Chain A
Amino acid sequence: MSFPWAKHYAPTNPLMKWVDERLPLPRFVYNAVGAGYPVPRNLNYFWNFGVLAGAALAIQIVTGIVLAMHFAANAGVAFDSVEHIMRDVNGGWFLRYAHATGASMFFVVVYIHIFRGLYYGSYKAPREMVWLLGVVIFLLMMATAFMGYVLPWGQMSFWGAQVITGFFSAIPGIGDTIRVWLLGGYAPGDATLNRFFSLHYLLPFVIAAVIILHIWALHIPGSSNPTGVEVKGEQDTVPFHPYYTAKDGMGLGVFLLIFALLLFFAPNYLGHPDNYIPANSLSTPAHIVPEWYFWPFYAILRAFSSNFILDAKLWGVLAMFGSILLLFFLPWLDSSPVRSANYRPVYRTFFWILVVDILILGWCGGSAATPFYAMLSQICAAYYFAHFLIIIPIISRAERPRPLPNSITEAVLSKHGGTSPAQTAPAAE
C-alpha cells in the first residue's frame, strides 16, 4: 500500500513487539488487512466477493484434505470409497457435500467478482497485473474443478474426462499423442484417475500462491472504487480494519447462509444424477454435460458445427480456450480512460447485453444439443467474441463518457445531499 497517511504499525502488546522485531509478520498483516491499509470509503457490496472467494478456497482446501484421508484413488474402488465417506465416515456426508457445494459456491463468487471487474474497469491501469493474475487463477480453478469432478469415478466423471481430453486430439498432428500422454492410456483409467488426484491436491496451493501475488499487486495502487476516480486524500479512505473487516464479516454471514441452505437441504440440486452411476466405459450417458460453471464455455465449444478450412471440432476447441484467453488482453482492448461503467452509458449497455448473453450461453450449455440450442449458441457465442474483440475496442475510443466526480468524497457527499464547493453535476446514480 502506498498512501502517505496510512497508519503505522505500533504494537503495544510486548509479545507482538517481540515477534515483529524478529519476523515482521504482524506488521505485514497490519498493513495488508489491518488498520494500516487505507481503502476507499465508498466500496459497495460487489467489493465483498474477493474475500468470499478466498474463504471459499479455504473451505475447499480444508474439506479436501480431510476427504483425502478417506478417498481411494483407484478406478476399482474410487466410487465405493466416496460412498464409504457418505455412509460410514463420521460426518462424512457433511464433508463430501461441503466440498461439492463449496466448488459451486466458489465459482458463483468468482464469477460475480469477475463481472464486478468488468463493470468497474478494475482491469485498467495501474491494475492490469491484478487482472492478469486473476485470469490465471480462473484458469487454475477450472483445471482443478475439472479434475476434482473426475475423482468420484461416476458416469459423468468418466465421460467428462473422455470429452475434455478428447479436445486435445483436435490439435493437428500431435493431438492424439498429447491426449494419450495426458490420460496415461487410450481411455480414462487408473492412470488418469491417480494423476488427476495428485494434481487436484496440488493446484489449490498453486492457486493460493497466485492469490498472494494477486493481492500484493492490488495493494500497490490500492483498491479501486465504484466511481473509478483514484484516491486523492485521507478523507477518501477508511482503514481496512475495522470498516471492511466488519463489512466482510456480514458478507461472509450471507455467503455461509446460502452455502448452508444448499448443503443441507438441496445438496444434489447443482449436480447431475448420472454421477451416482459407477463409470461404465461401454455405456455413454444420454446427455454428457459438465458442471454448471462450465456451461457457457461448453456452449461455445458446441456452437462450432461446420468445417471452415479447419475442422469444426478444432474451431470449437480454439474458441473455447480463446473465450478465456481473450480476457488477458482486455486492459489493452478497452482504451477508455474512464474506469467505471457508471460513467460510460454506452459501455454499460453492452455490459448488460454481455451478462444476458453469457447467461443464455450457460443455459444452452446445459441443454441437449438440439438445433434450437445450436442456433442460440451460435448467435450468443458470436456476440461474446464480437463484444470483447470488436465492440469494446471501438466504443472505448468513440464513446463520450459522463463527467466524473472530482473525488471519492465529493461523490459520497453529493449522494448524501451534502454541498461541496467543487461539486460538479450529479455524479453517481
Chain B
Amino acid sequence: MVRNLAMLVGAAFVAVLAWSLFWTVKGQITEPAAVTVEATEFHKHPKALALPSDGWFGKYDKRQLQRGFQVYQEVCAACHSIRLVAFRDLKEIGYNDAQVKAIAKGWKIPQPSINPETGEVATRPSVPADHFPAPFANETAARAANNNALPPDLSLMTKARHGGAAYVYSILTGYEPQSKELLKAFPDVATPQGLHANPYFPTMNIAMAQQLTTDGQVTYMDGTKPTVDQMAKDVSAFMVWTAEPELESRHTAGFAVAIFLLIFCFLAWGAYQNVWRDVKH
C-alpha cells in the first residue's frame, strides 16, 4: 500500500518536473535568456590586492591603518559614516589616549546631543567613548545631499561585499570611460545622468564620482608618497580593520588552538590504538 502510494507520488513529482524541464528547454530555445552584462568580461572581477592582513598569518600594519584613517577622514568622512566604530577603538591602530581625545574633540562632524538647560536638540564635541557621528542626520538628508543616492556606512564594507578589500580598492581606482564595444553590446548600460561608469561595480555605473583623483590629495604624516594607488590601498586596509578589529587576536588564538588540538588528536589516536590493541576490529 505504502509502495503503491509512494510510486504514485514519485511519478507525479517526476512528471511535473519533466513538464517544467520541457518548458524551460523550450523557453531557452525559442527565446533564450539574454546574457546579462554581469556575466561578461565587461564586468570586471576585483583587481588583485595584497594586504598585510591577508591570509592565515595576516597582521595589521598600524602605520598603514593610520594612513588609511587619514584618507577616510579627509576624503570619505564628509559623506560616509563608520558608525559602528568608536573613537576609543583608534587606540588599537597606534594612537595614544591624548591623540584619541584630540581626534574625537576635533572631529568636524559634531555629536548629536540635548541642551542640558533648555532640553532642545543640540550638538556637542565627541569624546573617545562616542561612536563616529554620521555626516547626515538621516537617510532623507543623505539622499537629498547626494543626488538621491545613499552613501553606505563603511564600518563593515569589506565583509559586506564579495571581494572584500580588493573590491573596495578596485572601485576606488577603477573608474574608466565605457568602451565602444561595451556600448554596442549592451546599449542599456550607457551611463545615465548623475552616475559614473565603473566596470567593477555590479551595475557598471556607480553614484559616487571618483574621489581619489590626484596624487598628493592627502599629505601623509609618515612621509609615504600619497599616490592615488597608495591612498586607495591604505583606505581599503583601514576598512578591513573597521570590519574586523579582532583579526590579529583571532589569528593568534587560532594558532594556539589549532596546535593544541593537533596534539590532542595525536594523543587521542595513541589512546585509541592502546585501548584497541588486543581486539581485532
Contact = CB atoms under 8 A, between A and B. Distances in A.
Interface of A: 41-43, 80, 83, 86-87, 93-94, 97, 238, 242-243, 246-247, 249-250, 252-254, 256-257, 260-261, 263-265, 267-268, 273-274, 276-277, 286, 303-306, 308, 312, 315, 319, 322, 326, 329, 332-333, 335, 370-371, 374-375, 378-379, 381-382, 385-386, 388-390, 393, 412-413, 416, 418
B18 interface: yes
B56 interface: yes
A262 to B, nearest CB: 10
Contacts of B255: 264
**Interface secondary structure of B, over-half rule:** helix
Contact of B6 (A242, A308, A393): A393
A375 B10 contact: no
A375 to B, nearest CB: 5
Contacts of B279: 41, 238, 243
Contact of A265 (B16, B254, B272): B254
Contacts of A253: 261, 264-265, 268-269
Interface in B1-35: 2-3, 6-7, 9-11, 13-25, 27-28, 32-33
B17 A381 contact: yes
A252 B255 CA distance: 18
A389 B20 contact: no
Nearest to A385: B13
A250 B13 contact: no
A305 B20 contact: yes
Contact of A385 (B10, B202, B265, B271): B10
A305 B25 CA distance: 11
19 contacts: A43-B281, A83-B84, A87-B84, A94-B250, A249-B272, A257-B262, A261-B258, A268-B159, A304-B20, A305-B20, A322-B13, A332-B3, A333-B2, A381-B13, A386-B10, A388-B10, A389-B11, A389-B13, A390-B6
Contact of A286 (B202, B258, B268, B280): B202
A43 B276 CA distance: 12
B253 interface: yes
B156 A276 contact: yes
A388 B161 CA distance: 40
Contacts of B268: 246, 249-250, 252-253
Interface in B144-199: 152, 155-156, 159-162
Given A94-B253, A312-B20, A390-B7, A42 B281 contact: yes
Contacts of A268: 159
Nearest to B246: A93
Nearest to B7: A390
A274 to B, nearest CB: 7
Given A250-B272, A264-B250, A276 B10 contact: no
Nearest to A370: B33
B2 A332 contact: yes
Contacts of B28: 371, 375
A238 B276 CA distance: 10
B118 to A, nearest CB: 27
Contacts of B253: 94, 264
A256 B19 contact: no
A246 B276 contact: yes
A315 B255 CA distance: 49
Nearest to A278: B153
Contact of A375 (B24, B159, B160, B161): B24
A207 to B, nearest CB: 26
Contacts of B14: 382, 385-386, 390
Contacts of B61: none
B98 interface: no
A31 to B, nearest CB: 20
A274 B32 CA distance: 29
B121 interface: no
B265 A265 contact: no
Contacts of B257: 260, 264
Given A371-B28, A378-B17, A257 B258 contact: yes
B271 A249 contact: yes
